[in-house]
Amino acid sequence: MSFFKIPAYLLSTIVLLFLGISCAKKNDNYPHPADNPGSELMLNLQGTGSDPELIDYDTLPVLKGAHTVVSKGDSVWHYRLHSYLVHFAGRFWCMWSHGPIVEDKPTQHIRYSTSEDGIEWTEPQILIGSPEQAGFRHIARGFWLRGDGKLRALASHDEALKDGHTHFFGESLDLRSYVWNSQSGIWEFDGVVFDDTINNFPPKKLSTGDWMMTRRTADRAITFLIGGQDSISNWEVIPYTIKDREDGLKPEEPFWYKLPDGNLVSMSRDNSRSGRLLRSFSIDNGRSWTAPARTNFPDATSKFNVLRVSKGFYVMINNANPERRNPLCLSVSADGLVYTALNRLPVPERIEGVEWETDSRHENANYESFQYPHVIEHEGQLLITYSRKKQAIEVLKISLSEVEGLLRN
């Protein structure tokens, strides 16, 4: 007798969706892109449930994994932040913002390093040098694999100073693309992607075939850009949220991803210091979005990253402790809506050659802080990059099976 066999990858997806549906039946407040977009439920842990105030961050279990340092600050170039990863042409690539003293000062530029295994990295090289125009800077904005066989590095370019002080974005702000030339071994300017734009993460492809990325303008308004098919500079601006909201929420550094049913979710940090992530949904491929709603997922008001892995579930990397950017945590979700496990990443508490944070804008500067993570998957491994105290770029390598086990616990 023969039986119809369900492929392993499809069976895994069915099981994960079933887990999400089962949870939905247990909680009337379960989020849904169309039926319940304003739900605050985004975290439901075994033991502490949906109350983030009950989490003891010091006693969270620690995942197993390998750790390495890609680059550390020195007396000339003290600052390193905004690191991103990609796997291309048989190698891992890591890029980051590289500058003097503290964040986003003039002469800040972008460097990169490569690795065959994600642990041993080459000596950092300049990807994009310091801007020729005095008082300007570059900010690393990630790698873009557009499907044309080319590796692109994105970078914003703008004035670093206003009235003698560092500020967020200057009037000349634009987003630029640089293409890796494997023959010459250099990065070549590929054109301006969009004017008055700084993205948060590189574009990702929608089911329509278009690319989409979040965008902030010089005045820090948040929109989406959809397009990028015909050319790297052909985009449509989609409104998202206004800067000064009546509800007092302040969405910043948004990130979006696709749910199993094809609908989209966007999350952002809340600069009103609520200590929670904000979330909104789109049921029309990013053309319109529900109003950002405050969730119960804790966050230290920092940049975070989410990845749907090949096994169908989701991992999020963020600074879950609202009090500080320590520890750096990994959480998992079967359906991308509610995260059901929260662990610490295996980040060493200290490394040699990194001093206390010198950025006076941070009130609690004298502690080990872990900044702005980015995660990718390759051959059964998760690679996670982040910055330590804005002075060192580090990478973690964790087995996907180690993370998958969190769903069963």
CB 150 within 8 A of CB 180: yes
For residue 52, is the peptide bond before it cis, meaning its omega torsion is within 30 degrees of 0?
Answer: no
Nearest to 83 by CA among 44, 115, 35: 115
pLDDT in tens, the chain (409 residues): 344 445 544 444 444 444 444 443 446 799 999 999 999 999 999 999 999 999 999 999 999 999 999 999 998 999 999 999 999 999 999 999 999 987 889 999 999 999 999 999 999 999 999 999 999 999 999 999 999 999 999 999 999 977 766 678 999 999 999 999 999 999 999 999 999 999 999 999 999 999 999 999 999 899 999 999 999 999 999 999 766 678 889 999 999 999 999 999 999 999 999 999 999 999 999 999 999 999 999 999 999 999 999 999 999 999 999 999 999 999 999 999 999 999 999 999 999 888 765 544 444 456 799 999 999 999 999 999 999 999 999 999 999 999 999 997 6
CATH number 3.30.70.141 given to 8-408: no
* Phi, psi (degrees; rounded to nearest 5) at 249: -70, 145
Which two tokens mark 45?
Answer: 């842990």
DSSP 8-state class, residue 11: H
How long, in residues, is the chain? Answer: 409
> Rounded to an integer, what distance in angstroms lies between the CA atom of residue 212 and that of residue 226?
4
Question: Do residues 27 and 41 lie in contact, with contact meaning Cβ atoms separated by under 8 Å?
Answer: yes
Cα gap 301→319, rounded to integer Å: 8
Sign of dihedral through CA atoms 122, 128, 131, 137? Answer: negative
> Which pTM value belongs to this model?
0.91
